[in-house]
Every structure is written in C-alpha cells, then in structure tokens.
Chain A
Amino acid sequence: MFSTFTHPALILIAGALILPFVRGPLRRPYLFLVPLLSMAAVVANSSLTGQHGLVQFLDWQLVFGRVDRLSTIFALIMGLMAIIGTLYGLHVDNAKEHMAAWFYVAGSLGTIYSGDYLSLFLFWEMMAFASTFLIWFRRGKGSLAAGYRYLLIHTIGGIILLAGIMLRYQAVGDIAFNLLDVKHPELYTWLIMIGFGLNAAIVPLHSWLPDAYSEASFNGSVFMCAFTTKTAVYVLARGFAGFDILVLLGVVMALYGVIYAVMENDIRKLLAWSIVSQVGYMVAGIGIGSEMAINGASAHAVAHILYKGLLFMGTGSVLYMTGKTKFTELGGLYKKMPATMICTVVGCLSISGVPLFAAFVSKGMIVGAGFESHLNWAAWLLMFGATGTFMYNGLKLPYFLFFGDNNCSNETWAKAADPPWNMQMAMSTGAILCIVVGSVPALLYALLPYPVDYHPYGGYHIAETLQIIGFASLAFFMLKKYLVPEDKICLDMDWLYRKAGSSFLWIAKNPIQWFDTAWGEAYRVVGLGSLMTTARFWSWFDWHGIDGVVDGLARSVRAIGDRVRTLQSGQIQYTIYFAATFAAIVLIAYVFLQLS
C-alpha cells in the first residue's frame, strides 16, 4: 500500500480533523479504519531503514522519519494499541474524545520517528496537550483540577526539555537526536534527561501519573497507560542507554510503585502505581545499557502496553458499568462480570510474569542483564519488586475486586454487568495477545533492536518463578487481613505542590487580599481626603491666583483694545492725525532728551 515512508501521525491527524464531519452509520467504520490505516503505514515503514521525511527549516534539517529496529518496535506496539483503544471506545459518541486520542497517538508516533530535537519537541508537546483532554472529558468531580495539574507539570517538563535542547544546540551546533555522551554528562544532558524522565514518571517526578490516570475517562486511561511513559522509555533508550543513574532511579521506581499500589484503595490508581513500578524495570534496563538490557526494556515495554492496556480496559469496564472504582465499594463481581473477570485475570497473570503470559518473557531479560552486568544489588531489588508486583496485581486486585467480600451497594450491584460488545472484543484481543507473546516469545524477540540470546523457558527460570509465585501466594493468604483495602487516600509527593498551590491561594486570599483591602480603605480615607483638599486648594489658587493674573491681563488687553478700537474709526484723516501726533510726541521727546 505504501512504497515510501508514510508518516502514520499524518494519517491520524488528518483522520481526526475529518472525524467531526463523518456522522451516522459511517462513524464507527471510520473510527476503526483510521487507526488501521495508521498501523498499515507503520508496518510498511518497518521494511525501510534510514532517514526519511527530511525537511529543511531555516538552518536546520528536520527528520520526521528515522526508521530502525528501535523505532520500529515501539511504533508497531503504539499502532496496535491505537487500534485496540479505539475499538474499546468505539461506542463513545463524543467525536472530540476520539480526536484527542488520535492526536495523542500521533504525538507519540511522531516522537518515535523523529530524528531531531525540534520535531521531537513538537510532537512531545502535542502528546501532552492532547492527553490532557482525555482527563477533562471524564467531567468528574476531580478531573478538571487533575487535568490542570497534569498540564502544568508537563508544561514545566517541556520547558526543562526545551532548555536542555537549546543549551545542547549552543554547545554542539546541531539538533540531531542520537545517543548522548552519558559518560561525560553536561548540564544540557541532565536537563534533557529530566524532561524525558518526567514523562517516564521517574521518582520523584512521578506524582502526575496516578493523579491523572485515575481521573481520566474510562477509555482515555486505556490510551494514557500506553503512550506517555513508553514513548519516554523509547527516547531514554535512544538517548541515554548506559546512563548509570537510571539504574538507581529505575530500582527506586520499581519499589516505590509497589508500596503505594499495595496501600491503594482505587483500582485504577493501583494500576497507575503499577505503571510507575513497571516502567522502573525499563528505566533500569536502559541504565544498564547492555544489548540484552535494551532488548529487555523494549520487550517489557511491548508486553507492558499489552497487559496494562488490558488491565485498564478491565477496570475501565467496572467503572463504565458501575460508576465505582474503589475496592471498598466493589467486590464479588465475578458473578456479574465474568468476561471482564477472565480478561482482567489474564492481565494480572501477565504482569506477574507467570509462565505462558507476557511479562514472563520480558522481565527476566532485564533482571538477567543486571546480574550479567554485575549489578547484583539492582537485580536482587528488581526481583524483590517483582514479588511485590505479583502480590498487589496478581493477587490483591483480582481477589478484592472479583472474589473478596461484596462491598457493592444495591444500586452498584444492579448496574454491574459485562460491558458492550466492542469493549469485550478489545479486552479479548488484549488477552489473546498477552498469551501469544508469553507463549511464543520468538514473535516478540524477532522485533527487538539487537539479536536475542535469551531462553525464558529454561527449567531453572520456570522453577524460580513457580517458587516465588507459590510462596508469595501463601504469604498473601496468610497475611491478607493486613491488606484489606481501607477507604483512604495515600499522600505522595504531589502533596508538596498541591499544598504549595493551596498555600499560594491562601496567601492571595488572606494576607494579600487583606493588605489590598486595607490599602484601598487607607487610600480612600487618607489619600483621597488629602487629594481632595489639595485639589480644592489648587482650584482656589487657579481661580483666584493664576486666573486672576491671566484674567486681569486679559481684561487690561481688552480695555486697551477697546480704547484702540475707538481710535480706529476707519477714516484716513484721523489715522494721519494720530500718527502725526504720535510722531510729533516722539520727535519732541527726542529733542528734549538731546537738549537736556
């Protein structure tokens, strides 16, 4: 279909702009067709290599189509997720939601194919702004504020990234986006890393993620869970492979996300914390930087998009059907939502790294790369985090949502049911792909950036995994009374800026407002009175002083004028008379003065 490079982002953007005009029975086929065409472009591009879509802009060479194995694997999974996500929300009538989602995916694909910082930044910001609308479109109690917080944080991140790009351009003189010199980092290296890292939800720049994803619309979060963080993983893998600090940051993310997910009462926020944790594995893999680690990070990104999308579809179905997202308001739903339960459990098994499911073939590559690079501390802590992941996502989520105590109100229970056909079809597709990737890993490994020498289905790896899963399950059922969800929220680092924002408002509304009011009153009483007195004085002075002098002069001039006017009768003889008299007076005066 496409013999040369065709940018899939253009197809999505054009599709989004035309969408409002496609109505009625054509709407749903059109919704399905556009991401399908975009995916076809990605597949066609995968047969190409090198740089395409070159545009000369001022002194800069923009590269809109850098195609290699790294960009191709990320573009393929993004294109696939756009199809699944659109299918999941196919019944949503609001065209603006689909437009926002497509612009968001276009931003992600544009970033992935960018070979220079300028076009990358353009698409990067497109992602941030488009995804904000996916939060606002929920129109929930907290969505508006969460969307503004999300936009604010990403704007700050964008400014930091832009500062890094400009400093780098000043230092290096080009805008090509390639691997940075991570062994000798400059200020711009750190700034660009922070800009990318904010989107990857690197702790402590992560709080926007659970805040925003739990407030997004039921289908908006399906898109959001896939694109922002994994696009950031891509750019980190492209620009920062082997940057040591990322190992530490990745491990911190992996553990931090686990602890908060264990405490969490909101099912979608639990999954958002899970993203922080799972992206931590990818960031750590990028920090390790070996071929096996980059392969592991890429493979885990693909697996993660599949199972996390599936999990957000499952919990999104619960939200869509019941309107609830808290464990303390749900429970026992296997009776009412069996299809949702099966698909969600597949997602839970996949993220837990159970044999035959997705993460089993990807997570082990990163941990193995850690051991092989002699970063044992990191590998052990990642294994520790993996056990925690199984506990909160493989056990806590399905147990308390589908099997535990039924906390549903009568109204919630009455509303609970499996969702519409398109949502079930999207979930089923996600579930099948999770099993395919986990069962036939060669399909995934063939797409990875480097040749793969990793065999997940060795006896030792299976024995190791089964022991961890089995005995972590034992610990869970022995200690689950300590895991019963409570109707509480967990304070995180967003407390700092939320409280800072509240403090700023308080300062604006109290001391500053008081001072402004007092100043206004003081001005009214003191300033205005003094001003009026002064004005009255100057009015009097003007009237009696300046006007007196001026008016006096004017009156004098007028009187003289009157006199002069009487002299000017218009008859020549009188004029001659007065002129001669005046000349005589002057002459006499002169003579007199000469004589005296």
Chain B
Amino acid sequence: MNKLIDYLRERLPNVVWTCYGILALVLAYSLVVDTSHAHTWVEKHIPFFWSFFGFGAAAAVIGFARWYGHSGIMTRPDYYDQDAECNGTCATTKSSGEHA
C-alpha cells in the first residue's frame, strides 16, 4: 500500500488530471441519468445541479467555519487551564500517570 501511495504521489499531476477526467465522466453521467426520482423542480431542470450544490456547500462550510473560528471562537489551547489550576484538581491529575 505504501508503495502504491508513494507511486501516486510521485506522479501527482497525472493523478490530478485523472481526477478531472472522473469529474467529467460524473458530469456526463448526470446528464443522461433518469431524473424522474428527483424530489424537487431544481433537481430536474438545472443541469449539473448537485455538482453546483456540492461545490457551493463545501465552499460555504469552509468560508463560514473560517470566519466563525477567527471571530473569537478559536482560542489558545490553555484557555481553561488557569481555571483548572484554581479548582484544586491539578494536584490530583498531575500526580497520576496518564495512559492512553
């Protein structure tokens, strides 16, 4: 397995172009598939709808999470440690050996 992964990593441009090819095939497949089982109008009438949806949703999640995280939600790892030092548990936890 390691050799296969290393082989592919050494040929990354080819792997990327293969992926683009697969994406093109998926797009082509979506044009010919029977859409009678679609639940909504947009699925039936907008070509490549789920491709746009997938890309848009992923980009939106990345963008929102980054904005939300950097608006103060993400903070230093020892944020709560000062509280822990004050509540008397440190002496116990530090004295006991951690195991996985």
Contact = CB atoms under 8 A, between A and B. Distances in A.
Interface string A204-221: 000000000000011000
A214 to B, nearest CB: 12
A263 B55 contact: no
Contacts of B83: 498-499, 501-502, 505
Contacts of B65: 259, 262-263
Interface in B10-54: 19, 22-23, 26-27, 29-30, 33-40, 43, 48, 50-54
Contacts of B74: 263, 486, 488-491
A338 B2 CA distance: 7
Interface residues of B, number: 59
Of the listed residues B65, B93, B96, the one surrounded by the most CB atoms of chain A closer than 10 A to its CB is B65
A473 B58 CA distance: 8
A392 B68 CA distance: 16
B61 A388 contact: yes
Given A259-B64, A263-B65, A387-B53, A489 B98 contact: no
A338 B75 CA distance: 33
Contact of B37 (A145, A403, A461): A461
Interface in A428-478: 458-464, 466-476
Contacts, number: 183
A320 B99 CA distance: 8
Contacts of A144: 89, 92-93, 96
Contact of B61 (A391, A460, A467): A391
A463 B75 contact: no
A287 B21 CA distance: 41
A319 B50 CA distance: 37
Contact of B54 (A258, A323, A392, A475): A475
A459 B34 contact: yes
B93 A141 contact: yes
A183 interface: no
Give the interface residue-count category, chain A.
35 or more
B61 to A, nearest CB: 4
A490 B1 contact: no
A533 B44 CA distance: 97
Given A262-B61, A323-B100, A463 B76 contact: no
Contact of A371 (B30, B39, B66): B39
A470 B19 CA distance: 9
A461 B62 CA distance: 25
Nearest to A92: B99
A387 B62 contact: no
Contact of A460 (B23, B33, B40, B76): B33
A471 B98 contact: no
Contact of A145 (B40, B50, B59, B89): B89
Contacts of A458: 37
A475 B26 contact: no
Contacts of A506: 86
Contact of B100 (A217, A479, A502): A217
B42 to A, nearest CB: 10
Nearest to A469: B54
Interface stretch (A298-306, A376-384, A558-566): A376-384
Contacts of A142: 84, 93
A335 interface: yes
B15 to A, nearest CB: 11
Contact of B39 (A319, A320, A368, A502): A368
A499 B93 CA distance: 20
Nearest to A262: B65
Contacts of A390: 58
A470 B51 contact: yes
Nearest to B20: A474
Given A463-B50, A489-B79, A387 B57 contact: yes
6 contacts: A139-B97, A263-B69, A463-B29, A471-B52, A479-B62, A491-B72
Given A144-B93, A372-B39, A502-B83, 16 more contacts: A139-B97, A139-B99, A140-B93, A259-B64, A379-B39, A383-B53, A384-B61, A388-B57, A392-B61, A460-B33, A462-B33, A467-B53, A471-B52, A471-B58, A475-B58, A476-B62
Interface of A: 138-145, 148, 217-218, 258-259, 262-263, 316, 319-320, 323, 334-335, 338, 341-342, 368, 371-372, 376, 379, 383-384, 387-388, 390-392, 403, 458-464, 466-476, 479, 482-483, 486-491, 498-499, 501-502, 505-506, 509
Interface of B: 1-2, 5, 19, 22-23, 26-27, 29-30, 33-40, 43, 48, 50-55, 57-66, 68-69, 72-77, 79-80, 83-84, 86-87, 89, 92-94, 96-100
Q: Which 9 A-B pairs have the closest CB atoms?
A: A475-B58, A468-B54, A371-B39, A387-B57, A467-B50, A471-B54, A262-B65, A472-B58, A471-B55
